[in-house]
Amino acid sequence: MKAGLLLIGLTLLASAPARAQVTVDITKITCRQFLVGRAVSTNAMALWFSGYYNGKRNVTLVDMGTLRSSAEKVKDFCRLHQEETVMNAVESVFSRAPSL
């Protein structure tokens, strides 16, 4: 099922208009870039992070209501810590959460 979550995320990223191939290092995206959707759309990033962290926890279901709520929590954190990476923001916000 981890592959299914990854496939969903990749499908969202691939559905963008065709442009030159771009590689994005997720670990380097700052909260500021996340908030303005400059690196990748905010919704696509939220789904990617959900799949990534739920996959690490062997959680195979996606609750869209929880996904939206979780994305808002990360956005709130990022508004206050704009130079932080999004990876660190997600870790900080959900380090004790059962699932994203």
Count of helix runs (H) and strand runs (E) in the chain: 5, 0
Q: Give the HSE-up count for residue 91: Cα atoms under 13 Å, Cβ half-sphere.
A: 6
- In the chain, where the domains are located: 2-12+24-94
The pTM is what? 0.66
Q: What percent of the chain has pLDDT over 70?
A: 73
- pLDDT at residue 85 is higher than 50: yes
Q: Which CATH class is domain 2-12+24-94?
A: mainly alpha
Question: pLDDT band for position 5 (50/70/90)?
Answer: very low
pLDDT for 19: 59
- Tell whether the model's pLDDT for residue 52 goes beyond 70: yes
d(CA 52, CA 5): 8
Flag whether pLDDT at 31 surpasses 90: yes
